[in-house]
């Protein structure tokens, strides 16, 4: 088994795999579109029903959940880096 595969399995992920990426921000009209646009740059083949929205109790914030298939740890990390760098994304999981 290669060192890369051992490292991936040790982290609990074997690629390719489906991951639910969550980004939270202010509940503005275009926040979900922003998150989907960022995710599509890294995973262009989002399937039907891949995106769900969950507003906060007060309606001030929204969580955008996107289920996508990732083929490498680097691909997943690049997406998280771009989400983190965006000033409108307050938190990402």
Return the CATH number at 37.
Answer: 3.30.70.260
Q: Is the dihedral of CA 76, 77, 79, 83 positive or negative?
A: positive
Q: Which domain holds residue 40?
A: 3-92
Question: What is the pTM assigned to this prediction?
Answer: 0.85
Question: pLDDT by residue (tens digit) across 18-66?
Answer: 999 999 999 999 999 999 999 999 999 998 999 999 999 999 999 999 9
Residue partners of 14: CB distance under 8 A and separation at least 6? 5, 8
82 pLDDT more than 50: yes
Higher pLDDT, 6 or 73: 73
The tally of domains found in the chain comes to 1
Q: What is the pLDDT of residue 6?
A: 44
pLDDT of residue 11: 66
């Amino acid at each position: 088994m290669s060192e890369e595969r051992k490292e991936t399995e040790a982290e609990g992920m074997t690629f390719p795999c489906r991951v639910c990426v969550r980004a939270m921000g202010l509940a503005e009209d275009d926040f979900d579109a922003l998150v989907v646009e960022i995710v599509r740059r890294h995973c262009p083949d989002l399937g039907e029903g891949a995106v769900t929205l969950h507003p906060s109790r007060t309606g001030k914030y929204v969580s955008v959940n996107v289920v996508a298939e990732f083929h490498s740890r680097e691909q997943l990390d690049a997406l998280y880096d771009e989400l983190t760098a965006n000033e409108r994304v307050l938190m990402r999981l």
